[in-house]
Every structure is written in C-alpha cells, then in structure tokens.
Structure 1
Amino acid sequence: MRTNACPTGPTTRYAAARQPSDTVTTVADQERPGTAAAPTAEHGRLGLALILVAAFMVVLDFSIVNVALSSIQRELGVSAATVQWVVTGYAIAFGGLLILGGRAGDLYGRRRLFLAGIAVFTAASLAGGLARDPVLLIASRVVQGSGAAMVAPAALSLITTGFPEGPRRTRALGLYGATASVGFVAGQVLGGVLVEFLTWRSVFLVNVPVGLAALLLAPRTLRESRSPRTGRHLDASGALLITLAVGALVFAVSRGGGTGIGSADVLVPLALSTLAAAAFIANEHHHADPLMQPALLRLHGLRSAGALMLLLGLWNGGEMLVLSVYLQQVLHMSPLTAGLTIAPQGVFGLATGLLGARLARHLGIQKVLVATGAAATIGFAALTRLPGSGGSHLPLAAVTLVGCGTAGMAFGSMVTASAGVADRDQGLVGGVINTSRQLGAAIGAALLPAVADAVDRTRHASTAVGDRAAMLAGLAAAALATLVATNAWRRSRHDAVARCAPRA
C-alpha cells in the first residue's frame, strides 16, 4: 500500500530534505531489477575516522604546498613559472581523474581503490620529499594527484554506501564536509609551521607515516563495497574523453592567471576540452554501458549540488590564496602568522560540520544550504572592506562566517547529491561532486588573484584595493550559490505540495 507523507513538522522536514523531489527511482531499479536493495553494512567509528583522515590528507596537500613554493624555487634554482607546475600538475591530475576514479571504485571495489590510491599517494609523497630535480618533483606531484583522484571519490562513496540514507549518513557526511573544509585551511597553517621550522621537503614527507598507517588499518576497519559487475565493464572511451576534457579545462584555467585568457596556453586547451566534452556526450548516448547513466544527469539534486560545489570551490580556492598574500604583503605577517590568522575559518567550519546533522534534522537540508550560503555571502561582504594596515579584527570576524558557509555548503551538497542514488552509482557521484569542487578551486585560484592584480596594476599594493575587489568576486560566487540553494528549496517545497495534493 502506498501512502503520501506530507512534510508538516520537524520530523518530516528531514525526510523531505533527504529525498530530492525529482530523484529518479529507476536509477536504483536499474541496479537490481525486481528486488529490494540490500541492507547496508555500516563502518565502525574507527573506519569512519580512517576515511576522514585520508580525505583530509588529500585536500591538505592541495594547499600545503603553496607556502613552500618560494623555498622550492630557491633551493632547486628554477623560475617562478616552473615551480608553479608543482601546484598545476597536482591540480590537473586530481581534477581530471576524479570521475574515472569514482566509477572504477563502483566496478572494482571502493575499498580496493581507496587502498590503491593511498599507496600511490604515499609513494609519490616520498618521491617528492626526496626529489633533487624539478622534473622529478613535478612528476611526483602528478602521480600524487592521480592517487588523490582515487582516494577522494572512494572515501565519499564508502560513507554513502557504508551508512544507510538518513541521520547516520547525514552525520557522517557532515564530518566529511567539515574535514575537507578544514583541510584547505590547515594546509596554510601546517605548511607555514613545517617550512619555518623544518624544510619544504617536510610538506611532502609528512604524508608518508599517515599513509602507511592508513594502509595497515584500512583492511581491518573498512568493509569492501562494490556494485554487481554482471554484464558491466569500464567505459574506457568515455573515461579517456572525460579525463581529457576536465584535465584540459583545469590546465587552461590554471594558466589563465599567468598568461592571460587570450594566450595560446589558454585557448588551445579550452578548444581541446570543448571537443573532448562533446565527444564524451556523444559516446555516452551510444555506449551500451556508459560511464555516466543518462538517468543520473536528470537528477535535479545532483545537478544543483554540482553547481553549488563548483561555486564553493571557486570562492574557497581563490579566497585562501588572496588572503594569504594579503596578510603577508599588505599586513606584513610571516607565513606562519598568516596561516594562524586564517585558522579560525577552519575551526568554525569544523563546528558547522559537527552541527550539520542536527541543523538538517530541525531545518531540512535545503534551508541549511540557504543559511550557510547567506553566511558566506555576509562574510565576503565584510572582506570587501579589508583594511590597508594592521589593527583591525575585521578579517577574523569575516573569515569565520566564510568558514561556516563553506563547510555547511559542502555538507549539504553531498547529502543532496547522494540522496536517492543507488549504491552502484555512489562512486561516480563522489567523482562528480569532487570534480566540481576541484574545478571551481582551479577557477578561483586563477580568477581572484587575477582580479586583484588587474585592479592593483596602477595602484600601490599596500592600499589593498585589489584584494577588496577579489573579495567582491568571491561575494558574487557566494551570492549566486545562495540563489541556487534558494531555488532548490522552493522547488522542493513546490514538489512536496504537489505530492500531497489529492489525486483524482
């Protein structure tokens, strides 16, 4: 017997938020036609902690290297353009391979890919820390990014398949979102500490003991999770095309800040990315077992979550870079002091993630997205008034709001994206969500500093006018994310009312 549950109170608000109104149930039906979904085997606390540590490690490495670039350039005797490839190489491999990593986990085992990714990441970290040649260092960063592209979607899908949809999964995703947000901030702080008191090599070598510990503990604490492979195989052509499309786009964005958007370094990879994306779409429509099922692309929850994560990555990646430079060049702080000044953003982000499940239970996940988007917008509005000298606590108050908004948006987007999706596709969903965020981070890291440089080109750097303009660009991204979240909230309310209306 089928019943219509109308959201009328706090207990049903959460249920409505869990299941986006237009989630296509046939995605789940395709997994086991005519049968009920198998019960989910939950990971223990130690298993969840291990997943969170691994996710923290790969996100941390995206920002921890920024503080060490000057030291690397001096010791290895390379140009600024060459040393930038230490960041760009990681970003291209990480962003380009995430969707492939997510689908490979679905097919071949999420724990297996998780372990393989940690092994690759750890070995590459060791190679990078011991590198005496810039080519070897850059190559190790590319391999490191490849390992991270296996770990990130596998970690997220181990949570979404290891906890049944509901409060326990929401709580776990809250912790995951907070961990990822803290990782970006912690990279600035930890990188400053390691470079100031040890050497730039320590920013790579710090991953090695953590990775080895994870490799020892994962087989004992995590259950294997994979989809039935009967009649299924990896869409190699689709995987190659989407990797080429995303990788070329990340490269173009990364180069745009240094060479200008009209240069061949930007236009050629953009054209290549466009062609690869078009070929990927054509391939998916004709392939017997496509990398991405067309039904998934019709899910409004996944589409809106991808857009939110793209915007979140844009403001987060750009803001962290611009603020770090601002604090050191305008307020004349040391790298360590600058990192500690930004640290409250991570602390408040962690608190938001810890409270996320409770907020979702009382407000509904769509309201959480709207509220945290508004918090980030207000924070950026305050940052548009950055002082030109020391003595103001305005950045501290502002970054705490941005931290709350970043963690809450990440958490809410992951809950929305994974809701109603069959276990067989959770790895792919993890790849899509992580790709959106990393692509946004690449755009933000190129766009916001470019805005600051363009405004400051004819002004004195200490006026911070360019940095304020960059924060205005971050405000625009946060405000747009709030509008997207508000539209999704209105849509969910409209569809909930439609479900509850009497039928003829």
Structure 2
Amino acid sequence: MSAQTTALPDGVTTPPGRARAGIALAVILTAQLMLVLDATIVNVALPVIRGQFGFSPATLSWVLNAYTLAFGGLLLLGGRLGDVLGYRRTFMVGLSIFVISSALGGAAQSAEWLITARAVQGIGAALAAPAALSLLTRSHPEGPARNRALGLFAAVSSGGASIGLILGGVLTSGASWRWSLLINVPIGIAAIVIGSRLLPDTERRREPFDIPGALTAVIGMTSLVAGFVWIPEYGWSLRTVVSLAVGVAAMASFAIIERRAGFPLFALRLLREPNRVTALLAFMLVVGGQMGGFFFLVQYLQVARGYDAFTSGLAFLPLTVGIFAVSRIAPRLITRYGPFAVGIGGMIILLAAHLMLSRITLDGNLIVGVLLPMMMLGIGAGATFLPMNIRILSGVPAQDAGSASGMLQTAQQAGGAALGLAVLIAASGIGSTGAGATPVPALITGMHHAFGTAVIFVSVAVAVTVGALIRERVVARRAAAQVVEM
C-alpha cells in the first residue's frame, strides 16, 4: 500500500493523488462559493425584480430571506445527514437540488415561483455546505496542509458575499438578473460530474436516525432565523415574538433530546471545549458586523450616491481582493504566530474599518471614506476567519465532522448573518425593504448607528478571544507546573 493511501483519514476509501486532491479541492471550493454568493447575488437586482414581478416592499425581502431561512434553518440537519449517509453522497444530493432550483428560479414567471425556488435553493445549500467542509477536513489531516485548505475555504466563505454583489451587478447590467441564478447551472453540473469521480468517498453508517432531534432542530432553527429576519421588517410584532419564542422552546427541547439520545443529531460534547465555544461566539459577532456592512454599503452606493447595479457591485472589489490576498498568507502567519495572534490582529483591523465607516458622509471622498475601509474589511476578514475555523474544527473526532461543519456554518449563516444583520438594521432605524424610500440624511444617520453597533460586535469578539487566550495560557502553565512537580 502506498504512503498516499495510508496517510488518508479513516473512512476515506478513494486515495487521491496530488492532482486528484487538487481538483477535488477545487470542486469543493467552487461549490462553496456558489452556495455563499447566492445569499447576496440578487441584492443589486432587487429593484429590477420588483419592477418585473410587482413585488410589494413587504414581500421583496423574501427573495433574500427565503434562501437565508432555509439555508440557516437546516444546516444542523444537513451536517448530521452527512455523518450518517456519507459526505460525498450528501454533497451530491444537495448540490443537485441547488442546481435544479437555480434553473427554476432563473425561469421564474411570478413572485411566488421565484420565492419558492429560492427556498429550495436554501435546502440544497444546507445539505451541500456542511458536507463540503467535512470532505475537506476528512481529506486533510490537522496541520499545515489542512490550514492551507481551510484558508482557501475561509476566503471563499467570507469573500463569497462580496463576490455575489460584484457578479450580480455585472450580470444584471450586462445581461439579465436571471443569469444571477442561471449561472449556477453549468458550473454546478460540472462540479457534480467531476466531484462524483474525484471526491473521496466516506462510509455510510448503519445507525438509527434521531427523528425527534431532527424535527426540533429544524423547527427551532427555522423559527429563530425567521424571527431574526422579521425584526427589521416588522419590529417586535406578534409574529416576530411568537417565532422567536417557538424557536427558543424548540431548541431547548432539542438540547434535552440530544442529551438523552443514543445516536444524537448533534454531538453536544463538541460544546464542552471552551476554546471552541468562544471561537463560535466571536465568529458570529464578526460575521454579523460584516454582513451588516454589505447591506448598508449597497444602500449607500445606490441610494445616497446614485450608482447603478454594475458600479455599486464593482465597488466591492477592494474588499474581495483584500480577503483573497490575505488568505494566501494567513496559513503561514498562523504557523509562525499561532491562530490567536493572527485572529486578534485581523479583528483589530476590522474594528478600525467599522470605526471609519461609522463616520461616513454623503459628500466625502469615496476612496478614503468608503473604498479604503472596504479593503480593510477584506484584509481583516481574511486574517480572522481562518484562525476561527481552525479553533472551531481542531480536535473534532472523525465521526463528528459533519456535526462540527454544520455547527460552524450555522454560526456563520444563521447566527452571524441573520442575527447580526437584524440587530444592525434595528439599530439603524431604517427598514430592510424601505431603504429606497428612506431620506438620504436618515440613511446616513442610520449607517452611523449601524456601524457603531458593528464596532461593539467586534470589540466583544476581541475581548472574548483575548479571554480565551489568557485561559489557554493559564491552563498550559498549570499543566507544565504539574509535570515539573512529578
């Protein structure tokens, strides 16, 4: 047996050579990019979509929310399905659902048709995304090789939203908003064909499926995400309060069920590690601020500055370049300085960027006042996301790879994106669908409040991470002292 074969993690039955492994990683990254950018790719096309289908302001947001709700609400279930059914199989099923629904969304003839297709897209994404990350971690043992792969994955995950805005602007202005969805079809089909032959296979487990846990997880996560996305639109209305209450009750029931289940949907033991929990919390806070920045900067460029979809999308290029440039050197920085130092440095850059944007003005210099802090957001995200991913996934048993991947991406999609965006929009005082009707001075004032709140988010994330670092060093010193005494 070759060295390449024996070096593979347990459960992987297809031993890829270096070229095969590189192509397989490219498939995973391409699929992840499609899944992430679809959360924002139609943002800049919303005015066109509203005019074509006659959306009301109250229903237009569901072109975005339907995807977010299904994606974020089903991630825990998707992660566990990968553990039980096999990661490649789950990845292929999810990606197939995503591609088919993308084609249907691009062909939509009514508002209801489009929203339904977007929801089904989210279901496919919730199955494929955790499986993609699990395939990556199972194919790369912990160490520099995994860090490099995770660096690319983190860059795609954090930069996908901004790429979606750029690509959405190009496609909407140059062709049609429909291509924002239809572009997934040829790329997705290629990923399915290549992935079915080159992605490593993992064994299917013969164990009972936790149906009560699955039901409570889906109800709980979906209700929580729905409540979060309704806060900006409806405030603390009856529907919002009931949705959040149902979500909290269902997730509490889920925790009780999982503690007693013989084969739980989610491995609660993953949350016994304080370093992992603090990394998850900091991750949610940072992503929340980042997604809020995307939302408000699009409104600023289109409403306050009067740019079209193409130009406003192109303005996010510095952010995207910053993410991918830093992601290439982040693994080496982590090897030299450790994930804590690199992560804290990245968050400090994010903090400075949010501070600059909290002072944005209508007639200020675009390069200094907008593009520079946007590039800093990209640099900070590129330096922050990989260390957090490493801390969250470090030490995860092979049988829990899917649960850990679902947990990480739930923190990013449901926790950070939905909760963070809802809080920032609420702090701004403007509605999620009524920015076009909001007077420009009110929009600028709202942005000051929103980015000021993002500063608080990142400040708390820095404090939590510094606290985790101090705790880790104290534990290490105690362990060293015990060894000396022995």
Q: Provide the TM-score with structure 1 as the length reference.
A: 0.88
Residues 249-268 of structure 1 mapped to structure 2, 5 A cutoff: 249-261=224-236, 263-268=237-242
1:289 aligns with 2:280: no
User: CA offsets, 1:194-244, max 9 Å, x none?
Assistant: 1112111111101000111011100222111247x25x3221111111111
Aligned to 2:273: 299
Aligned to 2:3: none
Match for 1:410 among 378, 385, 388? 385
Give, in whole Å, the separation in 2 of the partners of 1:114 and 1:97: 14
1:100 aligns with 2:77: yes
Aligned to 2:293: 319
Asked if 2 retains the 8 angstrom alpha-carbon contact of 1:177 and 1:408, the reply is: no
Aligned to 2:426: 450
Give, in whole Å, the separation in 1 of the partners of 2:196 and 2:430: 51
4+ aligned runs moved over 6 Å, structure 1: 455-459
Aligned to 1:222: 199
Match for 2:89 among 109, 112, 115? 112
Q: Secondary structure at the match of 2:423?
A: helix
Give, in whole Å, the separation in 2 of the partners of 1:306 and 1:495: 20
Q: Secondary structure at the match of 1:466?
A: helix
1:461 Cα deviation after fit: 2.2
User: CA offsets, 1:341-375, max 9 Å, x none?
Assistant: 22211111111211111010010011111111111
Letter in 1 for 2:182: L
Q: Secondary structure at the match of 2:74?
A: helix
Percent identity (aligned): 34
Q: Secondary structure at the match of 2:299?
A: helix
Letter in 2 for 1:342: F
Greater Cα offset, 39-48 or 466-475: 39-48
Asked if 2 retains the 8 angstrom alpha-carbon contact of 1:181 and 1:407, the reply is: yes
Asked if 1 retains the 8 angstrom alpha-carbon contact of 2:65 and 2:229, the reply is: yes
Q: Structure 1: which 5+ residue stretches go unaligned?
A: 1-35
Task: Label 1:260 to 1:376 Cα distance change in 2 as closer, same or farther (>3 A).
Answer: same
RCO higher in structure (CA 8 A, sep ≥6): 1
1:312 Cα deviation after fit: 2.2
1:499 aligns with 2:479: yes
Asked if 1 retains the 8 angstrom alpha-carbon contact of 2:283 and 2:412, the reply is: yes
User: CA offsets, 1:383-424, max 9 Å, x none?
Assistant: 112122153422211111211222322211111111111111
Give, in whole Å, the separation in 2 of the partners of 1:483 and 1:404: 20
Asked if 2 retains the 8 angstrom alpha-carbon contact of 1:322 and 1:448, the reply is: no
Letter in 1 for 2:393: S
1:125 aligns with 2:105: no
Asked if 1 retains the 8 angstrom alpha-carbon contact of 2:267 and 2:403, the reply is: no
1:459 Cα deviation after fit: 7.4
Letter in 1 for 2:374: V
Aligned to 2:4: none
Letter in 2 for 1:415: I
1:180 aligns with 2:154: no
1:397 aligns with 2:372: yes
Aligned to 2:400: 425
Give, in whole Å, the separation in 1 of the partners of 2:342 and 2:11: 28
Give, in whole Å, the separation in 2 of the partners of 1:249 and 1:378: 31
Give, in whole Å, the separation in 2 of the partners of 1:286 and 1:173: 33
Asked if 1 retains the 8 angstrom alpha-carbon contact of 2:11 and 2:203, the reply is: no
Aligned to 1:479: 459
Aligned to 1:70: 47
Give, in whole Å, the separation in 2 of the partners of 1:215 and 1:460: 46
Give, in whole Å, the separation in 1 of the partners of 2:142 and 2:473: 20
1:189 aligns with 2:163: no
Letter in 2 for 1:445: L
